[in-house]
Amino acid sequence: MAVRKYGELKASDWRTPAAVYLLEGEEPVWQREFLAQLRRALQIAPGSLDEATLDARETPVALLSSVVQTAPMEAARRLVLLHAVNRYSAHELQALTRLVERVPPFTCLVLLPITADESESAKAAWNNLVKAVEKHGMVIRLTPLTGATLTRRLVEHAQAFGKRLRSEDAEYLQTLVDGVAERALAELEKVMLYVEPRNEISRLDIDMAVSPSQQAQVFKLVDAVVARDARAALRQLRLLFQSGTRAEETAMKTLALIARQYRLLWGVRTLIQYQQPVKQPNRVSPEVAQKLPKDPDVLQTLIRQPFLQDRLLKQAERLSPAQLCRAFQAIQETDLALKGLRPGVNAAEIMERLIIRLTTDGESALPSYA
């Protein structure tokens, strides 16, 4: 048939479901919706005897073939879901390719890959499988649900339950869950329950009901650092240490996220220096792109999490290259102190000392670890 994006499927595509589908991409929201739509099209109720769920890591193709060839008992067609399909060996993928070409008309086979590295021989066998599915069924691409698309989805989801969520607050909600669509929708459910019986969702409601990720909390911490608000930064740091995790583990994770944030800011600062469009990362020149940090990939972060663009830009504009260099030195010294290679009282004290140094740009009365 063809290769299609999930969002491009029309009503006519569901009238006669294909014999076999291959879902490319791991966006769980789209995957869940696709399977729900497919069950409705096949008139298969949840828990039906005519639905089988298998895992390629435990199911040889010979066994899969037997399941596929089993006639349905209740519905007109049987639904067979095969997870981790790309974990098959090259030999098994070849056998699966042959099976795809002879799926009976009373069965609908859905192939669900997971993230994995394949050998060269497996890659060739995988490409042949994809071509077979394109010919005898349909390849569905589940593109990540991010940015403006996710914002619209959150607003529409709230509207469906009679709640009003402003676009800017939907974007703010994304920042608290690292832009992960599945978690954003789950947290929105909590917010809607929290505001009952009111219809309006405010930013305060989101702050009260949503559990921010550790990365989101670090983002707030760096906001306070850049604003030179030591009191707010230390308060945010202490919240991180209240997670219930061991102080040493919390300190190392928090330091890694702070370092990541400052590498992003260095990248954005570089874009500003070379007059590149931070809000149009696809238009950054290849020459400047080569100068940017790759861990994390600054341009990919700006593309995949566009809601961060304004916040990163505002933070980067307030920091000079010299200030960033001093911050990296302070982060490095803190890393050594947490590993016991520099003096320090305990993990919490070491991290507090770092926050004060970053907030005062190295001019604090507290000495460095030199």
- CA 28 to CA 34: how far, in whole Å? 10
Contacts 24+ apart (CB under 8 A), 66-73: 68/99, 68/103, 68/104, 68/107, 68/109, 69/104, 69/107, 70/107, 71/106, 72/106, 72/107, 73/49
Task: Assess whether pLDDT exceeds 60 at residue 362.
Answer: no
3-state class percentages of the chain: helix first, strand second, coil last, to nearest 5: 60, 10, 30
The pLDDT tens digits for 298-357 are 999 998 888 889 989 999 999 999 999 999 999 999 999 999 887 777 999 999 999 999
Task: Assess whether pLDDT exceeds 50 at residue 365.
Answer: no
The pLDDT tens digits for 69-92 are 999 999 999 999 999 999 999 999
- CA 137 to CA 290: how far, in whole Å? 41
Cα-Cα-Cα-Cα torsion 64, 22, 45, 187, nearest 10 degrees, comes to 130
Task: Assess whether pLDDT exceeds 60 at residue 230.
Answer: yes
Domains of the chain: 2-141 (3.40.50.300), 147-209 (1.10.8.60), 214-360 (1.20.272.10)
Cis peptide bond upstream of 197, omega within 30:
yes
pTM: predicted TM-score of the whole model, two decimal places: 0.76
State both tokens at 36.
């729900």
- CA 170 to CA 152: how far, in whole Å? 8
- With pLDDT > 90 as the criterion, what percentage of the chain qualifies? 76
Position 370 scores a pLDDT of 40
Q: pLDDT-derived band of residue 57, with 50, 70 and 90 as boundaries?
A: very high
Mean pLDDT for all residues in the chain: 91
Q: Which amino acid is at 187?
A: E
- CA 193 to CA 163: how far, in whole Å? 10
The pLDDT tens digits for 166-195 are 999 999 999 999 999 999 999 999 999 999
The pLDDT tens digits for 253-282 are 999 999 999 999 999 999 999 999 999 999
* Mean pLDDT, residues 135-153: 92
The pLDDT tens digits for 238-258 are 988 887 789 999 999 999 999
**SS3 (DSSP) at 201:** strand
Q: What is the distance between the terminal CA atoms of the chain, rounded to a whole angstrom?
A: 66
Q: pLDDT-derived band of residue 116, with 50, 70 and 90 as boundaries?
A: low
Q: pLDDT-derived band of residue 368, with 50, 70 and 90 as boundaries?
A: very low
Q: Which helix (H) or strand (E) holds 164?
A: strand 164-165
